[in-house]
C-alpha cells in the first residue's frame, strides 16, 4: 500500500474525550472514529489490526480442535426466558420489540442460542465431545462507556461453548481452552495471566480471567511475581492428552493470582513477602465451566452408554477481540505512539522515501516494495511529498515494527537504514540485506 493512496486520517492533537493511552493513540493514528457513545467505526488501519487478531484467535481455536460457526447478533427473548436469564441479566441487555411485537435482544453472549442449536441436532454421547465457537459482534449497554474500545457498548468477541458427557470431560475442555488461550496471547506479544475470577451472570464455579498487567487496567489484581516468569513458548501440545493439558493448567494456575472479586488475604499472606504483588489488569478473556446449568434448564440431553438421557456438561470461553487492540497498545507504546508486536502489526514494515521525486530514491523504494510484496509481506510505502520529520512522526505514531529509510545520500553508498520501532536502533545495510532481515523476522523464506 502506498500512503498517498491510503485512508489514514491521523490527528496532530489528542481529542479531549480520550482518557487513556490506547484511546488517545487509536484516535490519533486514525484507527477508529466514534459513531455514538461506546460505538466505533473501525477505519482501515484499525480494521487491519482487528482482523489480524481475529485470524490468530481462529488459528489457535482450530488447532485446539474447536469448530467455527456464526450465530446472529439478534436473539429471541424466549430462549433467555427458558434459561431464566432474560429478567436476571439487567439493564446492560438491549431489549428490542420487532414489528410483530416479538421480544428480541441484541446478544451480549450466546449460551442460550448455542444450547438450542445443540439440542436440536445432537442426541447421542457418540457425538461428544463437541466445542463450537464463533467470532461475532456483541452489545452490552454500559451505563458509562469509556476508554474507547476497552469498555465500549458494541464489541467483537470470540465465544466458544463445549458440550461433554461428564464433568471430567468438560474440565478437560476447560484445560484445553486455557492452553489455547496462552498460545493465542503470546502470539500477539502479550503476557496474559490466568487469574481466579468471579463468574458473574454467566454462572458456574470454575472460572479464570486472563489479564494483561497495565496501569490503566479496570481491575485490581493480586499475584505471586513468579507467575510473570512463565512462558508457554513454542512447546508442542497434544490437545487430546488429558494429562498434558492438566499439567499446563497446574503450571500456570498453581501460584497465587486473583482478581479483587476473589482475592483472599489469608491465602495471599502465605506467598513470600518479596513475591507479593498488586497491580492493575486489563481483562482480555475468560473461561468458564458451569456444568449442567443451561442443559438442565433447556433440555439439552443425550443418551449415554447405558441408554439413559442425561444433561450434557458445558462451559463457555470468551476472548475480547476488539478489546485486545486497546490492551496491546496499553502494553506496548511510548511517548511517540504505538509499538505493534510483529504478530498483529497492520503492515510488516514501513518504507520512507526521504526525497520523493528523486529518480534513484523512487526506484529504490519501488524495488524494496515490490520485493517485499513478492515475498508475501505487506509494506506501507510513504510516498507523500512531505518533510522527513513528518514522515518519521507518522511512522512512529502508527507503530510499524520496522522502518526502511531510503535517501539519496545513503544510496550513493549502496545502503538504506533499517530501524526497529521498539528499540529505536538503526543499522545501515544494502537494500537486499534489509529485505532478507525483514523476511527472517517474519519467518518468510526468500
147 phi, psi to nearest 5 deg:
65, 30
CA distance 209 to 219: 11
Helix, strand or coil for residue 183? Answer: helix
Provide the pairing of β-strand 301-303 with 309-311: antiparallel
Give per-residue burial for 302-336: e unless 16+ CB within 10 Å, then b.
beeeeeeeebbbbbbbbbbbbbbbbbbbbbbbeee
Cis before 307 (ω within 30): no
pLDDT value at position 205?
57
Q: Distance of CA 385 to CAs 141, 276, 354, 393, Å?
A: 45, 54, 9, 14
Render each residue's pLDDT in the chain as its tens digit; 446 residues: 999 999 999 998 888 888 899 999 999 999 999 999 999 999 999 999 999 999 999 999 999 999 999 999 999 999 999 999 999 898 999 999 999 999 999 999 999 999 999 999 999 999 999 999 999 999 999 888 888 999 899 999 999 999 999 999 999 999 999 999 999 999 999 999 999 877 555 444 589 999 999 888 888 999 999 999 999 999 999 999 999 999 999 999 999 999 998 999 999 999 999 999 999 999 999 999 999 999 999 999 999 999 999 999 999 999 999 999 999 999 999 999 999 999 999 999 999 999 999 999 999 999 999 999 999 999 999 999 999 999 999 999 999 999 999 999 999 999 999 999 999 999 999 999 999 999 999 986 44
CA distances from 223 to 144, 196, 227, 259, 276 (A): 29, 10, 8, 9, 6
Measured in residues, the chain has a length of: 446
pLDDT for 203 equals 45
Whether 180 contacts 63, CB under 8 Å: yes
- pLDDT of res. 200: 57
Longest dimension (CA), the chain: 82
Print the SS3 string covering 335-354. CCEECCCCCCCCCCEEEEEC
Q: Quick one: DSSP state of residue 92? A: T
Residue 92: closest CA among 137, 143, 136: 143
Q: What is the pLDDT of residue 211?
A: 96
**Residue 2 gets which letter from DSSP?**
B
b/e map of 75-112 (b: 16 or more CB within 10 Å)?
bbbebbebbebbeebeeebbeeeeeeeeeebbbbbbbb
Tally of CB atoms within 10 A around 430 = 12
- What is the pTM for the complete model shown? 0.94
Amino acid at each position: 500500500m502506498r500512503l498517498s493512496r491510503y485512508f489514514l486520517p491521523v490527528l496532530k492533537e489528542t481529542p479531549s474525550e480520550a482518557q487513556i493511552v490506547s484511546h488517545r493513540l487509536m484516535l490519533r493514528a486514525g484507527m477508529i472514529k466514534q459513531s455514538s457513545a461506546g460505538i466505533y467505526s473501525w477505519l482501515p488501519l484499525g480494521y487491519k489490526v482487528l482482523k489480524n487478531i481475529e485470524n490468530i484467535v481462529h488459528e489457535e481455536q482450530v488447532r485446539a480442535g474447536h469448530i467455527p460457526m456464526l450465530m446472529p447478533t439478534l436473539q429471541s427473548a424466549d430462549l433467555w426466558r427458558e434459561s431464566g436469564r432474560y429478567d436476571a441479566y439487567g439493564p446492560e441487555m438491549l431489549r428490542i420489540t420487532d414489528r410483530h411485537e416479538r421480544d428480541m435482544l441484541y446478544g451480549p453472549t450466546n449460551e442460550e442460542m448455542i444450547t438450542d442449536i445443540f439440542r436440536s441436532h445432537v442426541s447421542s454421547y457418540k457425538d461428544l465431545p463437541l466445542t463450537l465457537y464463533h467470532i461475532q459482534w456483541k452489545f452490552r449497554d454500559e451505563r458509562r462507556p469509556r476508554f474507547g474500545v476497552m469498555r465500549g457498548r458494541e464489541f467483537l468477541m470470540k465465544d466458544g461453548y463445549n458440550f461433554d458427557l461428564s464433568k471430567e470431560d468438560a474440565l478437560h475442555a476447560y484445560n484445553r481452552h486455557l492452553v489455547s488461550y496462552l498460545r493465542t496471547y503470546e502470539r500477539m506479544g502479550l503476557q496474559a495471566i490466568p487469574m481466579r475470577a468471579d463468574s458473574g451472570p454467566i454462572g458456574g464455579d470454575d472460572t479464570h480471567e486472563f489479564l494483561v498487567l497495565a496501569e490503566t487496567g479496570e481491575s485490581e489484581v493480586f499475584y505471586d511475581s513468579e507467575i510473570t516468569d512463565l512462558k508457554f513458548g513454542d512447546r508442542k501440545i497434544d490437545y487430546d492428552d488429558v494429562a498434558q493439558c492438566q499439567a499446563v493448567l497446574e503450571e500456570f494456575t498453581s501460584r497465587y493470582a486473583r482478581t479483587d472479586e476473589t482475592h483472599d488475604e489469608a491465602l495471599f499472606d502465605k506467598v513470600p513477602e518479596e513475591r507479593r504483588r498488586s497491580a492493575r489488569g486489563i481483562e482480555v478473556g475468560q473461561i468458564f465451566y458451569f456444568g449442567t446449568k443451561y442443559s438442565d434448564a433447556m433440555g439439552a440431553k443425550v443418551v449415554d452408554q447405558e441408554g439413559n438421557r442425561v444433561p450434557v456438561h458445558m462451559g463457555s470461553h470468551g476472548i475480547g477481540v476488539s478489546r485486545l487492540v486497546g490492551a496491546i497498545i496499553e502494553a506496548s507504546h511510548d511517548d511517540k505512539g504505538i509499538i505493534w508486536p510483529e504478530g498483529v502489526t497492520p503492515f510488516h514494515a514501513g518504507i520512507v522515501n526521504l526525497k520523493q521525486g528523486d529518480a534513484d530514491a523512487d526506484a529504490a523504494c519501488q524495488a524494496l516494495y515490490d520485493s517485499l510484496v513478492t515475498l508475501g509481506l505487506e509494506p506501507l510505502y510513504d510516498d507523500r511529498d512531505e518533510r522527513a520529520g513528518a514522515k518519521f512522526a507518522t511512522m512512529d505514531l502508527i507503530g510499524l515494527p520496522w522502518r526502511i529509510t531510503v535517501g539519496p545520500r545513503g544510496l550513493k553508498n549502496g545502503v538504506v537504514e533499517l530501524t526497529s520501532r521498539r528499540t529505536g536502533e538503526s543499522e545501515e545495510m544494502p537494500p537486499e540485506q534489509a529485505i532478507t532481515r525483514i523476511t527472517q523476522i517474519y519467518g518468510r523464506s526468500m
